[in-house]
Structure 1
Amino acid sequence: MEKQRVLIVDDEQDICDLIEIYLSNEGLEVVKASDGIEALNVLKEMDIDLIILDVMMPKMDGIQACMQIRKDKSMPIIMLSAKGEDLDKILGLNTGADDYVTKPFNPLEIVARVRSQLRRYKVLNHPSLESKDEIQVGDLVINTAAHQVFLEDKEIRLTPTEFSILETLMRNKGRVLSTQRIYELVWSESAFECENTVAVHIRNLREKIEINPKEPRYIKVVWGVGYKVEMDN
């Protein structure tokens, strides 16, 4: 079986080496780059299943690199940063990242998050592992087998995390799911201070599938309770 390949992008060699040791022990193939430009060149030369991307780097930082990658790539991206403020986290998620880890970190946390993202990405990209049923709400259609989303017959590109959130909400259409419950179902881990993370992904989803994100037709917020997918009559 071919190994899954992870690209680590960080200008701190010690950080790259540490993460490489733990991921290699998990049976993953590791490729390293020291800045965003080098990372983009790697992506032109080989297939990558997941990217661990530092925010602060020379030449091209992680935010700029993430924006470039998301123009035509959909693999999971985990952002790394020495900053722990919510603003930095939100900025990373807004550019298309799927998850965010603050330095200093426990290497085992990185391993767990990588495994979680790869597991979800593998399911989304292998039809045989998922039901072939389509879920439809109004003109919004999600095909879980093909990992495709269509709005009025136009395909909408989503990140793996955005797709998982939308699938979760559409499988429970009409039912309100709390932020904590969405996080537990999508990230497959206990929810802790997850409100901003989920809210940013929901906002990004609305920007992509709503004609007017400020007056959403599909993804509704129930204040003080959570979110639901429901079509306006």
Structure 2
Amino acid sequence: MKKILIIEDEPNIRELILYNLKTNGYDGIAAEDGIMGITMVHREKPDLILLDIMLPGKTGYDICRELREEGNNTPIIMITAKTEEVDKVLGLEFGADDYISKPFGIRELMARIKAVLRRYEVTADTNMSSDTVVSVGDLCMNVECHEVKVGERHIDLTLKEFELLRYLVENRGHVFTRDQLLNNVWGIDYAGETRTVDVHIRHLRQKLSDGENEEQYIETIRGKGYKVR
């Protein structure tokens, strides 16, 4: 049974989500503020985190950034009452895998949970024999171990960053539009914006870069999209 942690300070929303997680076969646990939330992440080791943005103690942004900086790649779905694109993008900037805006339908939330967990399981369980290790120049990806190295330098990636990089590397030389990447990496039913792709590409470039050439591995083809050289 997958364990899902809800970090949400509104009791009614928290209890509604917990109830529906249980009825859908998940083990739901909850925290009502940011301090309690990050403590429970470390103690309970959930399979997925539903993370409200506006929290007492620590904001959802703070929690997401802190977890990613310490190398914790647990899938995170941000929950926010804000509808401005900049707020959604900011969550992705800090390493969230998906987001959903209040008010939301329970069916949509459960679908997003299922989709994120499914993508995580496919990536974590993949065993591709001779294709386990893929590389481009000094960039090496071990698909089975979920590890990335540039030379001798280990690169910490979120699940979605890893999936995106893997897709581009395995199809190196092919140019993909933002819509194609959304469909092929996030899933055809993903209700996101192409801005999501740009944010993740920028993160990958920053992490893979030697500090001088950010397009060393992922190239922008003006007017078309992205490709791995």
Could you tell me the percent identity over the aligned residues? Answer: 39
Q: Distance in 2 between matches of 1:215 and 1:67?
A: 22
The CA deviation string for residues 53-97 of structure 1, in whole angstroms up to 9 with x for no partner, is 000011111011111221231111111111111111111111111
Q: 1:81 is matched with which residue?
A: 80
1:81-230 correspondence runs (5 A): 81-126=80-125, 129-132=126-129, 133=131, 134-190=133-189, 192=191, 194-212=193-211, 215-230=214-229
CA contact (8 A) 1:75 1:121 kept: no
Q: CA deviation at 1:17?
A: 1.7
Provide the alpha-carbon RMSD of the alignment.
1.5
Q: 1:36 is matched with which residue?
A: 34
Q: 1:61 is matched with which residue?
A: 59
- Where does the alignment leave 5 or more consecutive residues of structure 2 unmatched? none
Change (3 A) 1:205 1:213: farther
Change (3 A) 1:55 1:213: farther
Q: Distance in 1 between matches of 2:114 and 2:212?
A: 32
CA contact (8 A) 1:124 1:146 kept: no
Change (3 A) 1:192 1:31: closer
Q: Distance in 1 between matches of 2:2 and 2:212?
A: 36
CA contact (8 A) 2:50 2:77 kept: yes
Amino acid at match of 2:94: T
Q: Does 1:46 align with 2:6?
A: no
Q: CA deviation at 1:192?
A: 4.9
- Where does the alignment leave 5 or more consecutive residues of structure 1 unmatched? none
SS at match of 2:202: helix
CA contact (8 A) 1:140 1:152 kept: yes
Shifted more, 214-223 versus 202-211: the winner is 214-223
Q: CA deviation at 1:215?
A: 3.9
SS at match of 1:69: helix
Q: 1:8 is matched with which residue?
A: 6
Shifted more, 202-211 versus 20-29: the winner is 20-29
Q: CA deviation at 1:153?
A: 2.4
The CA deviation string for residues 195-220 of structure 1, in whole angstroms up to 9 with x for no partner, is 11111111111110112476411111
Q: Distance in 2 between matches of 1:175 and 1:183?
A: 15
Q: CA deviation at 1:193?
A: 5.2
Shifted more, 191-200 versus 158-167: the winner is 191-200
Amino acid at match of 1:8: I
Q: Distance in 1 between matches of 2:94 and 2:208?
A: 17
Q: Distance in 1 between matches of 2:224 and 2:190?
A: 15
Q: CA deviation at 1:112?
A: 1.2
Scaled by the length of structure 2, what TM-score is found? 0.93
Scaled by the length of structure 1, what TM-score is found? 0.92
Q: Distance in 2 between matches of 1:214 and 1:105?
A: 41
Aligned residues: 226
Q: Distance in 2 between matches of 1:14 and 1:227?
A: 43
Q: CA deviation at 1:34?
A: 0.9
